[in-house]
Chains A and B, each alone.
Chain A
Amino acid sequence: MKTILLSGLIIYLITLLINIIGTYVYYKKSLKLPIKTLFYYLIFLLIFQIITTVLTSFSINNLILSHAYFIIQCFILAYFFNQIINVVKVTRIIKVYALSTLSFLLIQYLLFPNLIWSFNIAEVFITNYLGILLSLFYFYENLGKKKEYQPFVIGVIIYSTLSTSIFLFGNVASYINIKSAAYIWGAHLLILIFFQLLITFQWLSKLKYRIS
């Protein structure tokens, strides 16, 4: 299982690096702000992955980083969707949701400080749900129109839904004593790779179109 996880991690890091270079090249050619945000999002994923991998290799508990991961990811995605959905109502929803999420989590951690040292399922759901919601908003607003960020937004929907499902299942499984941690992380890695492949498709198709 360890070998599979390691191979998965290497594949994930390779796709991530390719996507960072690809989105950077595409951003320099198109100068589109959402692509710049996507580039920063990928940089964030890379830094985060390196830190967690290093911490894991030194057998240091990196669970505390999961909070930062979900919250920062939620805010970057909110910022990205704010740039691609030009509807005042939706941008207002994004701001209200992001602020409410932050306030809710802040209150939760103030009331229950112990949650910082454990896996917070409410945090996983709330932060991922925004991705699902905004992706659906994006598709709704662009019904019958050309969807420029379709591959990435599909990736967000799939990743957010499956990642929520996996963590919720993992949470339930841990209560009924199923030894599932490795499988859960393996499945999560698989979704991450799939998400990266969709991002590759996003910049590659646009770049090809631009060059042609």
Chain B
Amino acid sequence: MKESTTDIILPVALSFFAFLIILITVILFIYYARKKMFAKEIEIVNLKLKTKKDQINSMIEVQEAERARISRDIHDAISSNLVAIHLNLQQLKRISSDKTTIDICDTAIKACTSTTENARRIAHNLMPVELEHVGLLASLDQLCEKLNKEGRLKVVLLHELSIKQFKLIKPEYQIHIYRIIQELITNSIKHGKANRIDLKLVNIRPNIIEFFYADNGEGTDQNIEEIQEGHGIQNIISRASIFGGETRFYASPQGGFSFILVIPLNKI
């Protein structure tokens, strides 16, 4: 009886063992298959995000190119003609003895000067000329100076970078950094009602420039995710991603808004 029990136990144990191996194999297959499917889904989502990001980036680049073209057209076709009209009017004023004609000339010269100014302003807003000629640092200096002159806002720009370090940033990426700063300032004025903005550019780590931005505005009770959903902030993130930059936003309901932009020089 004992012998027959032992005889049964061995095949039963072997069968059990065999089924266990098959079961483990199937469980492992299900586990790894699910893992693979999950990884594939993440890959698809990432690919979609990348495509979307690329679309936004190319849209921004096309937008910048179009802005530059319009700016050049305003400068070349309108401003130069206005200057010519202005000179002709001054000539007419000089040679004319009729008071009415002189008055009309004066009015026309004033209108011409104002239109030239407006055209220059519009062209500048579309594409800052100094960015092309003197680079990012000088453009930022001029932007701050202009805002300080307007008197509504005090903008302080500090930097610990040499001109050589600034030149490490490619010109086609400088426009994006400039636009980011413009967008931030617009937001501080429009939404934060700030009257002081501090800008700081530092080179703490090698091959990395960090840009710090802070205003004394009203702040917001929105969380960072909500802030990042905004069109302007989305634009900032997209522009930063063009040159591989990282963005960080900080805001509180107590007041103030801060932003950090990490600019990797080795990527750009």
Contact = CB atoms under 8 A, between A and B. Distances in A.
Interface string A10-50: 00000000000000000000000000000000000000000
Interface string B1-40: 0000001100110110011011001100100110011001
A144 B22 CA distance: 24
A132 B25 contact: yes
A172 interface: yes
B18 A139 contact: no
B129 to A, nearest CB: 53
Given A169-B15, A176-B8, A133 B25 contact: yes
A177 to B, nearest CB: 10
A140 to B, nearest CB: 6
Contacts of B33: 139-140, 143
Contacts of A125: 18, 21
Contact of B32 (A121, A140, A169): A140
A128 to B, nearest CB: 9
Contact of B11 (A143, A144, A164, A171): A171
Interface in A118-147: 121-122, 125, 129, 132-133, 136, 139-140, 143-144
Contacts of A144: 37, 40
Given A140-B32, A143-B37, A175 B18 contact: no
A38 B100 CA distance: 105
Interface residues of B, number: 18
Interface string A65-99: 00000000000000000000000000000000000
A52 interface: no
A158 interface: no
Contacts of B40: 143-144
A172 B22 contact: no
Interface size class of A (residues with CB under 8 A): 20 to 34
Contacts of B14: 121-122, 168, 171
A139 B11 contact: no
Contact of B22 (A143, A161, A176): A161
B29 A172 contact: no
Main SS class of interface, A? helix
B8 A136 contact: no
Contacts of B25: 129, 132-133, 136
Given A164-B18, A168-B18, A140 B36 contact: yes
A140 B28 CA distance: 11
Interface string A144-170: 100000000000000001001100110
A136 B26 contact: yes
A145 to B, nearest CB: 10
15 contacts: A129-B18, A129-B21, A129-B22, A139-B29, A139-B33, A140-B29, A143-B40, A144-B37, A144-B40, A164-B22, A165-B19, A168-B14, A175-B7, A175-B8, A175-B12
Interface of B: 7-8, 11-12, 14-15, 18-19, 21-22, 25-26, 29, 32-33, 36-37, 40
Given A129-B18, A132-B25, A133-B25, 17 more contacts: A121-B14, A122-B14, A125-B18, A125-B21, A132-B22, A136-B25, A139-B29, A140-B33, A140-B36, A143-B33, A143-B37, A168-B11, A168-B14, A168-B15, A171-B14, A172-B12, A175-B11
